[in-house]
Amino acid sequence: MTPTDKDEDRVLRLERRLNAPPAAAFAAWTDPARLARWWGPENFAVPMCEIDPRPGGRWETCMKSPEGTEHFVGGVYREVVAPERLVFTWAWRADGTPGHETLVTVEFHPDGDGTRLVLTQESFESTASRDDHGQGWTSSFVCLESTLTDR
């Protein structure tokens, strides 16, 4: 953390309206086959996705960049309330060792015939890390929306 980073500056909050009901959006986050179809930034592949979406259940994914670099991330589900809310830890893994852990909360709010998805991720080591994750999630949401409309 740099001396100018305040706690509130290390929190990422994103909102996106999805053209699918909350149950479908929630399933895209909790079914491994569905998650693997959209997880990660655009043009990334997901060669490995293991999730156990229940409180205390572990999850881990591998995202593979277009250049072939593999990125492993995982954590533990803290809260699973279908189809309203998911809370899980998040830590990148290098050589099997988890790095800095953040907490991700995903809320699924009914919005007409769709869903207003609200993602909060906290507390990052730095605002730069927060910003990098913001770009990654924003790109991932493009993939999520595409997957939901392809149902």
Domains defined along the chain, listed by start: 9-149 (3.30.530.20)
57 vs 112: CA distance, rounded Å? 32
Query: Whole-prediction pTM value?
Result: 0.93
Instruction: Identify which of 139, 141, 47, 39 has the alpha carbon closest to the alpha carbon of residue 90.
Output: 39
- The residues of the chain scoring below 70 in pLDDT are 1-6, 151
CA–CA gap between residue 78 and residue 58 (Å, rounded): 9
**Joined tokens for residue 39:** 């997880």
Q: So what's the pLDDT on residue 75?
A: 97
Residue 12 near residue 137, CB atoms below 8 Å: yes
> How high is the pLDDT of residue 6?
62
pLDDT number for residue 1: 41
Structure token pair of residue 141 = 């949401």
Query: What pairing do the DSSP bridges indicate for beta strands 70-81 and 58-64?
Result: antiparallel
pLDDT score, position 8: 83
d(CA 74, CA 84): 21
